Amino acid sequence: MRRREFIAGVGAAVAWPYVVRAQQALQPVIGFMSARSPEDSANLLRAFQKGLKEEASFVEGDNISIEYRWARGDYALLPALAGELAERHVNVLVAVGGDASARAAKAAASQVPIVFTISGDPVEAGLVQSINRPGGNATGCIVFSTGELDAKRLDFMSEIVPGPSVLGVLVNPKYPPAIGQARYLEAAATKIGRVISIAEASNDAELETALSALLQKNIGGLVVASDPFFDSRRNRILAFAAEHRLPGIYQFRDYALEGGLISYGPSLTDTYRQVGVYAARIVKGGNPSDMPVMQPTKYDLVINLKTANALGLKVPQSLLVGADEVIE
């Protein structure tokens, strides 16, 4: 090979990565920030990506790029993660995994379009001006899974575990809706005449302490309040319930699919699909101020009958008849 041809070949080889990076830089970029962890969000990411594809044929790595940031249940990290993505000048910032994520995104990215999920009132949280006409740079989906739903889960657990036994409740005091959760749960317990023991945890060490404390109360069942931190520690909580033969109730279907006794809440996969639809719509030029905040219309009661049988529990027929899904 002649020297000139060799140099030309080397030059092309060196230049090629820069060409690839330049092509990638032309792709729209979505910033995806979650209070959860990637390990417990695989199915949710699939639903999000499904929404992107349905709305605009966007496929990650093909015609769109996604930058991920995960807080893994540590809400203190969220402001910094939101700031990083805002500085990247992403086309849209997706903030999911609970109220703290949405608030951090709004505080860090006043000029970047935002699609959020939130369990509370987005108007009260200062995210939007109204549900139907958000009016600013943010819109998203409400995931009603706290407050009254936490109280409803306590009702279900009381039906499954009747009698005087104490029911244990896990609450994360650093989760923004936590005060309301405890209030609803205490009122619900009083109404049905049950004694509850509330244990608090916001990190791994506190979770172990809380679980041990509930065991010392000789609880007859476990109610896990809605919280992304607990979702990111789902395997640990389910293992605890299985080891100590405790019936438990949780917010999302994934818990029941993985061995939890019962779950009651909205479809989180449907929510993430809608988040993907909204993100794609904004990348195409849509204005979040004109996109109504979506609300769940259906709540699923899922019962794992296999787990009930293993625990020697008889699930009331009224619950079985009303269940949306029974795992046998």
Give me the number of domains the chain comprises. Answer: 2
Residues 108 and 218 in one domain: no
Residues 203 and 292 in one domain: no
pLDDT at 12: 38
* This prediction's pTM: 0.79
Between CA 263 and CA 123 the distance in angstroms is 28
Residues 189 and 249 in one domain: yes
pLDDT at 9: 43
306: nearest Cα among 260, 269, 275: 260
Helices within 197-262 (DSSP H only): 204-216, 228-232, 234-243, 253-257
* CATH code (residue 292): 3.40.50.2300
Residues 180 and 42 in one domain: no
Residues 132 and 69 in one domain: yes
Residues 171 and 279 in one domain: no
Between CA 32 and CA 70 the distance in angstroms is 8
pLDDT at 4: 40
pLDDT at 25: 54
157: nearest Cα among 210, 111, 194, 126: 194
Tokens of 253: 């279907």
Residues 115 and 217 in one domain: no
Residues 287 and 314 in one domain: no
Q: What is the pLDDT along the chain (328 residues), one digit of tens a residue?
A: 444 443 344 343 333 333 334 444 589 999 999 999 999 899 999 999 999 999 999 999 999 999 999 999 999 999 999 999 999 999 999 999 988 999 999 999 989 999 999 988 899 889 999 999 999 999 999 987 677 888 899 999 999 998 888 999 999 998 877 778 888 899 999 999 999 999 999 999 999 999 999 999 999 999 999 888 999 999 999 999 999 999 999 999 999 999 999 999 988 899 999 999 999 999 999 999 999 999 887 889 999 999 999 999 999 999 999 999 999 9
Residues 26 and 157 in one domain: no
Residues 171 and 306 in one domain: yes
Instruction: Identify the H or E element spanning 9.
Output: helix 3-25
Domain of 118 in residue numbering reads as 3-144+267-298
> Could you give the 3-state DSSP secondary structure of residue 64?
strand
Residues 106 and 240 in one domain: no
Residues 259 and 271 in one domain: no
